[in-house]
Homo-oligomer: A and B are copies of this chain.
Amino acid sequence: MPKRVDHAQRRTEIAEALVQAAGRHGLHAVGMRDVAAEAGVSLRLVQYYFESKEKLLLFGLRHLAGKFGERVTARVSAAGDDPGPRAVIEALLTAALPVDEESRLFHQLFTSYAVLSVTDEALAAQPFITDPDAAESTLTALLHQAADTGLLQADVDVHAEAVGLLAMSAGLGTSVLVGQRDAQSATTVLRYHLDRIFQT
Q: Is A170 an interface residue (CB 8 A)?
A: yes
Known: A24-B119, A26-B120, A189-B160. A175 touches B180 (CB 8 A): no
Q: Are B175 and A168 in contact, with the CB atoms below 8 A? A: no
Does B108 lie within 8 Å of A179, measured CB to CB?
no
**B119 and A115 within 8 A (CB):** no
A163 at interface by CB-CB < 8 Å: yes
Complex formed: what's the CA distance from A124 to B179 in Å? Answer: 9
Residues of B within 8 A of A27 (CB): 115
Q: Give the dominant DSSP class at A's interface.
A: helix
B193 touches A181 (CB 8 A): no
Residues B163 and A189 in contact, CB atoms below 8 Å apart: yes
The segment from A74-82, A83-91, A125-133, A138-146 found at the interface with B is: A125-133
Q: Which residues of the other chain, B, contact A157 by a CB distance below 8 angstroms?
A: 192
Chain B nearest CB, measured from A61 CB (Å): 13
B-side contacts of A111, CB under 8 Å? 111, 114-115
| Size bracket of the A interface | 35 or more
A28 nearest CB neighbor, chain B only: B28
- Indicate if the CB atoms of B189 and A115 lie closer than 8 Å: no
Copies of this chain: 2
What residues on B are CB-neighbors of A181 within 8 Å? 163
State which residues 143-183 of A face B: CB under 8 Å. Answer: 155-157, 160, 163-164, 166-172, 174-175, 177-181
Does A103 sit within 8 A of B, measured CB to CB?
no
Return chain B residues, CB-CB under 8 Å to A196. 155-156, 196
Interchain CB contact under 8 A, A25 and B119: yes
Q: Which of A28, A115, A186, A196 has the most CB of B within 10 A?
A: A115
Closest Cβ of chain B: how far from A15's Cβ, in Å? 19
CB-defined A-B contacts under 8 Å, sample of 16: A26-B116, A26-B119, A28-B116, A108-B115, A117-B178, A118-B177, A128-B179, A129-B178, A155-B196, A157-B192, A160-B192, A160-B193, A167-B172, A167-B174, A170-B174, A171-B171
